[in-house]
Amino acid sequence: MIRLWARAIYKNRILRSETVEWTGDFLESLSALCAALDIPRPLLLEKHGREWSEFAQTSFTADHFVESIPYDKIEIERIDPDDKKKRSNDPRNG
């Protein structure tokens, strides 16, 4: 079963953590995570789409929200127990 995991981080500490089932639609799953964390949905930029497609994870800082949030950033990661972790194409990774 594929799930999305969101971590609410403040001063480099995870204050809250929530998971929801992956519906196959990023916006729908993101809305469910934001409802679980009781925060507004963030603005989606090209950077988020690129990170999501390459690494199946992305992060939103407080600047990506129209309303203020009590966290420094929100990190979202897709958890698939059968999937291999993706890495950057940077040659320094070996």
62, part of any domain: yes
For residue 21, name the pLDDT band (cuts at 50, 70, 90).
very high
22, part of any domain: yes
User: How much is the pLDDT for 3?
Assistant: 92
Provide the whole-model pTM.
Answer: 0.81
21, part of any domain: yes
Owning domain of residue 51 = 3-80
Judge whether residue 44 has pLDDT over 90: yes
94, part of any domain: no
61, part of any domain: yes
85, part of any domain: no
3-state secondary structure the chain: CCEEEEEEEECCEEEEEEEEECCCCHHHHHHHHHHHHCCCCCCCCHHHHHHHHHHCEEEEEHHHCCCCCCCCEEEEEEECCCCCCCCCCCHHHC
20, part of any domain: yes
7, part of any domain: yes
Number of domains the chain contains:
1
